[in-house]
């Protein structure tokens, strides 16, 4: 059963009692919240995630609720926590949903050390994945959103999860988070993209979230090996360039891009070496999104 | 759940059974695993569970995402152990030529000496022991070679220097590990301190193959964990179950030789630590079902407290050391943690000093001076 198949009352009942248990990629999450404003948002944007039974082994147990009973009425603020003390400072109720999204990322980033975590967007076609590792602000999420609405299957816009044993990528189809100008860019690029409300004035500016396409969630247990690694960089007015990157340099770029390369040590070294050996690796500078997608399509035919 | 068991008893039993009889873990239901992972995470024992399952070749018999969570925790543990072993290596390098004995304490000692408690054990800081008369040169040398002092208020700095058994922690400017440099095992003002014979910790210490650091002699090592367990309560965390498990591991390892037990009792008496040893034996038997030889029990019986204190400790210690059910925290467990914290402070310094110290801390709290500055990821991103 998917979250969209729950009635609004059923969804609320779960969130306010034992918790809403649902699956995202390899993880089983449990969410508790009594924030009414969150319910319709979850119903829409989490629509395709499978609902799980209450009894099971949770990976992350998250709570997003009023910081205190008093703060529900007086300058309302909410607090995110997961199995322990709150990792973030409290935020105003308007920012509840983006905070939940960041909170979920935080859970994965600090705990999922059984896999190598690249800070990368990942999409798949013809059984191989295209990895887009990049620093924030380089247009990785925008490119990822456009690709996942142009025939590619979304793995993740934030985490390239790599199984250390065989260096295959594991899908974790979380919502794609768009910032500032890229929200409109994607609205214009794709009529089918389901984009939620825009939240203004967060610590990352304005953000909006795209619901992962249905197919990316129904096939979220299907891993795939990497075929291409592209380091993207959006630059206003630039002519498109696609430059191969030497393998030794690529190795360092991927290793330093990972969240937990040091933690996994030798396992991480081998996984990155495997990826570098088996992939075509390029840097991509672009200004026109449609042209960039076209180039990537050609490259990966 | 058994009918006559409270949620807290059930959660404790799950964790204690997992630690004492890991071979039974493959029979757990999903619901039990879910609870066990939460309490084991609370007590920082996930890495240990992973290593036990690995040793017993049972990793493939537990649910897939349980194995993943345990592996994740253990990868982090392995990384911490590597990082701290390297930190120790760098400290020994920096101290070369000073001719000062350096004893590795606690976690790092288990790692370099390859002792059983090292297996899957998470530890945050690096603890070393050097003789008091050399501590100034050691600190100066480390400061010259790239370590930095952590910023403390003048009061805290004084607190460390005058009353504590360690100097304020140092941290290398390029690395994140904090190092605690001790000159003895208990604060100078502690009721149980043994100043006069601190030097014997060094004369009794052992060398370790492949390291220039030394480790404490077996009885001293056990007594040190006991001291840590019983005199360092924390009102949030309670007494550390992990310390009790370390002691159990050490006793099992060293205790196969019968002479060890009499040495342990003798040494406890010498260091004025008979009472902690008495409690240690008592709660190891009661909480973990560890067998202590009858003669060791008999010879420590004379260290027992008077009956009312004994009764009180029997009520407080299990409440403060065993895990709580995360969904049903109990007020009396919180009370027990706080009372043992007070007890730890009561023993830590003489009454007048304690009153002075607590009034100062209370004053800070009233003025809302933060005890430490907590920088959250969000705050950093706001720059």
Last residue of a domain, one of A111, A144, A174: A111
Task: Give tens-digit pLDDT for B275-311.
Answer: 999 999 999 999 999 999 999 999 999 999 999 999 9
Residues A40, A141: one domain? no
Which residue in the set A57, A87, A203 is minimally distant from B34, CB to CB? A57
CB contact under 8 A, A203 and B382: yes
CB contact under 8 A, A57 and B378: no
Predicted confidence (pLDDT) at residue A175 exceeds the cutoff of 90 = yes
CB contact under 8 A, A265 and B82: yes
CB contact under 8 A, A59 and B69: yes
Please write down the HEC assignment for all residues of chain A: CEHHHCCHHHHHHHHHCCCEEEEECCEEEEEECCCCCHHHHHHHHCCCCEECCCCCCCCEEEEEEECCCHHHCCCCEEEEEECCCCCCCCEEHHHHHHHHHHHHHHHHHHHCCCCEEEEEEEEEECCEEEEEECCCCCCHHHHHHHHHCCCCEEEECCEEEECCCCCEEECCCCCEEEECHHHHHHHHHCCCCCECCCEEEECCEEEEEECCCHHHHHCCCCCEEEEEEEEEEECCCCCCEEEECCHHHHHHHHHHHECCHHHHCHHHHHHHHHHHHHCEEEEEEECCHHHHHHHHHHHCC
Contacts of A54 in chain B (CB under 8 A): none
Residue A250, CB-side half-sphere exposure with 13 Å CA sphere = 23
Residues A133, A222: one domain? yes
Predicted confidence (pLDDT) at residue B193 exceeds the cutoff of 90 = no
Residues A74, A192: one domain? no
φ and ψ of B181, to 5 deg:
-105, 115
Residues A80, A167: one domain? no
Q: How far apart are CA B66 and CA B36, in angstroms?
A: 10
CB contact under 8 A, B30 and A57: yes
Predicted confidence (pLDDT) at residue A7 exceeds the cutoff of 90 = yes
CB contact under 8 A, A88 and B65: no
Q: What pLDDT score does A137 carry?
A: 75
Task: Give tens-digit pLDDT for B140-156.
Answer: 999 999 999 887 788 88
Last residue of a domain, one of A76, A111, A146: A111
A300 vs chain B: nearest CA distance in angstroms? 33
Contacts of A88 in chain B (CB under 8 A): 376-378
How many A/B residue pairs have CB atoms within 8 Å? 64
Name every residue in B having a CB less than 8 A away from some CB of A. 30-31, 33-34, 37-38, 41, 63, 65-66, 68-69, 71-73, 75-76, 78-79, 82, 326, 376-379, 381-382
CB contact under 8 A, A204 and B381: yes
Residue pair B224/B185 in contact (Cβ under 8 Å)? The answer is yes
Residue B103 makes CB contacts below 8 A (sequence gap 6+) with B109, B128, B129, B130, B201, B202, B205, B213, B214, B215, B216
Contacts of A59 in chain B (CB under 8 A): 65, 68-69
Residues A120, A93: one domain? no
Please write down the HEC assignment for all residues of B3-52: CCCCHHHHHHHHHHHHHHCHHHHHHCCHHHHHHHHHHHHHCCCHHHHHHH
Residues A68, A130: one domain? no
Q: What pLDDT score does B372 carry?
A: 53
CB contact under 8 A, A106 and B31: no
Pairing of strands A77-82, A60-66: antiparallel
CB contact under 8 A, A265 and B79: yes
3-class SS at B181?
strand
Residue A75: pLDDT band by 50, 70, 90 thresholds?
confident
A297 vs chain B: nearest CA distance in angstroms? 34
CB contact under 8 A, B376 and A88: yes
Please give the residue range of the domain that contains residue A278.
116-299
Q: What pLDDT score does B365 carry?
A: 78
Q: How far apart are CA A60 and CA A105, in angstroms?
A: 11
Last residue of a domain, one of A94, A111, A128: A111
Contacts of A28 in chain B (CB under 8 A): 65
In chain A, the residue whose alpha carbon lies closest to the alpha carbon of B29 is A56
Q: pTM for this structure? A: 0.91
Task: Give tens-digit pLDDT for B44-71.
Answer: 999 999 999 999 999 999 999 999 999 9
CB contact under 8 A, A27 and B66: no
Q: List B192's β-bridge partners, or say none.
A: none
A272 vs chain B: nearest CA distance in angstroms? 17
Contacts of B381 in chain A (CB under 8 A): 203-204
Name every residue in A having a CB less than 8 A away from some CB of B. 26-28, 55-59, 61, 83, 87-89, 102, 106, 111-115, 203-204, 262-265, 267
Tokens of A102: 């960041």
Residue pair B154/B162 in contact (Cβ under 8 Å)? The answer is no
Q: How far apart are CA B54 and CA B70, in angstroms?
A: 10
Task: Give tens-digit pLDDT for B318-366.
Answer: 999 999 999 898 999 999 999 999 888 888 888 888 888 888 888 887 7
Which residue in the set A26, A57, A88 is minimally distant from B66, CB to CB? A57
B283 vs chain A: nearest CA distance in angstroms? 28
Residues A207, A274: one domain? yes
In chain A, the residue whose alpha carbon lies closest to the alpha carbon of B78 is A263
In chain B, the residue whose alpha carbon lies closest to the alpha carbon of A136 is B381
CB contact under 8 A, A112 and B72: yes
Which residue in the set A55, A89, A204 is minimally distant from B31, CB to CB? A55
Q: How far apart are CA A167 and CA A267, in angstroms?
A: 10
Predicted confidence (pLDDT) at residue A282 exceeds the cutoff of 70 = yes
Residues A140, A240: one domain? yes
CB contact under 8 A, B65 and A27: yes
Q: How far apart are CA B222 and CA B245, in angstroms?
A: 11
Mean pLDDT, rounded, of chain B? 90
A36 vs chain B: nearest CA distance in angstroms? 23
B84 vs chain A: nearest CA distance in angstroms? 13
CB contact under 8 A, A88 and B377: yes
Which residue in the set A115, A203, A263 is minimally distant from B381, CB to CB? A203
Which residue in the set B38, B72, B377 is minimally distant from A111, CB to CB? B72
Mean pLDDT, rounded, of chain A? 93
Picking from A93, A150, A137, the residue whose alpha carbon sits closest to that of residue A236 is A137
CB atoms within 10 A of CB B70: 25
Residues A88, A232: one domain? no
Look at chain A and report how many structural domains it folds into.
Answer: 2
B33 vs chain A: nearest CA distance in angstroms? 6
Residues A89, A180: one domain? no
Residues A183, A292: one domain? yes
Residue B374: pLDDT band by 50, 70, 90 thresholds?
low
Q: What pLDDT score does B379 carry?
A: 47
Residues A99, A14: one domain? yes
Predicted confidence (pLDDT) at residue B29 exceeds the cutoff of 90 = yes
Beta strands across the sheet bearing A176-179 = A176-179, A205-210, A199-202
Q: What pLDDT score does B380 carry?
A: 45
For the segment A258-285, the average pLDDT, to the nearest whole number, is: 95
For the segment A237-249, the average pLDDT, to the nearest whole number, is: 94
């Amino acid at each position: 059963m998917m979250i969209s198949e729950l009635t609004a009352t059923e969804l609320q009942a779960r969130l306010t009692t034992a918790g809403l248990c649902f699956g995202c990629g390899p993880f089983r999450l449990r969410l508790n919240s009594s924030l009414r404003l969150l319910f319709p948002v979850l119903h829409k944007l989490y629509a395709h995630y499978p609902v799980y039974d209450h009894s099971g082994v949770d990976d992350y147990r998250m709570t997003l609720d009023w910081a205190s009973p008093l703060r529900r009425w007086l300058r309302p603020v909410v607090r995110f926590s997961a199995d322990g003390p709150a990792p973030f400072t409290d935020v105003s109720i308007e920012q509840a949903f983006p905070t939940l999204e960041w909170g979920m990322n935080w859970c994965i980033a600090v705990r999922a050390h059984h896999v190598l975590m690249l800070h990368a967007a990942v999409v798949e076609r013809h059984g191989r994945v295209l990895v887009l590792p990049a620093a924030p602000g380089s247009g990785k999420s925008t490119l990822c959103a456009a690709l996942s609405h142009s025939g590619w299957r979304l793995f993740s816009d934030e985490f390239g999860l790599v199984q250390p044993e065989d260096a295959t990528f594991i899908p974790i189809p979380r919502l794609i988070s768009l910032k500032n100008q890229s929200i409109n860019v994607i609205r214009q690029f794709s009529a089918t993209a389901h984009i939620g409300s825009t939240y203004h004035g967060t610590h990352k500016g304005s953000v909006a979230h795209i619901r992962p396409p249905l197919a990316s969630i129904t096939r979220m247990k299907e891993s795939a090996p990497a075929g291409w690694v592209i380091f993207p960089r959006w630059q206003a007015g630039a002519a498109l360039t696609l430059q191969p990157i030497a393998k030794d340099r690529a190795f360092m770029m991927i290793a330093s891009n990972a969240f937990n390369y040091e933690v996994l040590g030798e396992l991480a070294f081998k996984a990155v070496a495997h990826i570098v050996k088996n992939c075509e690796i390029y840097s991509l500078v672009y200004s026109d999104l449609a042209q960039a997608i076209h180039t990537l399509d050609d490259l990966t035919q | 759940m058994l009918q006559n068991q409270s949620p807290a008893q059930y959660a404790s039993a799950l964790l204690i059974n997992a630690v004492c009889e890991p071979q039974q873990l493959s029979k757990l239901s999903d619901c039990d695993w879910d609870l066990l992972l939460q309490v084991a995470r609370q007590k920082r024992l996930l890495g240990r569970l992973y290593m036990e399952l690995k040793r017993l070749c049972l990793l493939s018999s537990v649910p897939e995402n349980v194995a993943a969570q345990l592996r994740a925790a253990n990868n982090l543990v392995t990384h911490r152990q590597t990082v701290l072993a390297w930190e120790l290596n760098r400290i020994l390098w920096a101290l070369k030529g000073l001719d000062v004995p350096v004893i590795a304490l606690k976690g790092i000692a288990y790692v370099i000496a390859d002792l059983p408690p090292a297996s899957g054990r998470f530890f945050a800081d690096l603890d070393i022991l050097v003789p008091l008369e050399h501590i100034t040169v050691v600190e100066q040398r480390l400061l010259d070679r790239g370590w930095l002092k952590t910023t403390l208020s003048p009061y805290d700095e004084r607190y460390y220097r005058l009353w504590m058994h360690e100097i304020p922690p140092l941290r290398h400017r390029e690395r994140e590990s904090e190092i605690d440099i001790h000159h003895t095992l208990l604060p100078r003002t502690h009721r149980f301190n043994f100043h006069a014979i601190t030097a014997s910790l060094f004369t009794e210490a052992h060398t370790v193959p492949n390291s220039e650091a030394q480790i404490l002699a077996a009885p001293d090592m056990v007594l040190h964990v006991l001291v840590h367990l019983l005199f360092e309560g924390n009102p949030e965390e309670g007494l550390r179950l992990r310390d009790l498990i370390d002691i159990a591991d050490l006793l099992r390892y060293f205790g196969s030789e019968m002479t060890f037990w009499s040495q342990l009792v003798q040494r406890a008496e010498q260091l004025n630590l008979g009472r902690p040893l008495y409690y240690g034996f008592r709660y190891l038997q009661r909480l973990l079902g560890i067998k202590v030889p009858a003669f060791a029990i008999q010879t420590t019986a004379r260290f027992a407290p008077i009956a009312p204190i004994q009764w009180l400790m029997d009520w407080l210690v299990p409440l403060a050391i065993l895990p709580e059910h995360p969904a049903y925290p109990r007020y009396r467990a919180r009370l027990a943690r706080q009372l043992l914290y007070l007890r730890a402070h009561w023993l830590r310094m003489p009454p007048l000093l304690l009153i002075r110290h607590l009034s100062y801390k209370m004053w800070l709290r009233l003025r809302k001076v933060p005890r430490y500055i907590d920088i959250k990821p969000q705050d950093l991103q706001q720059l």
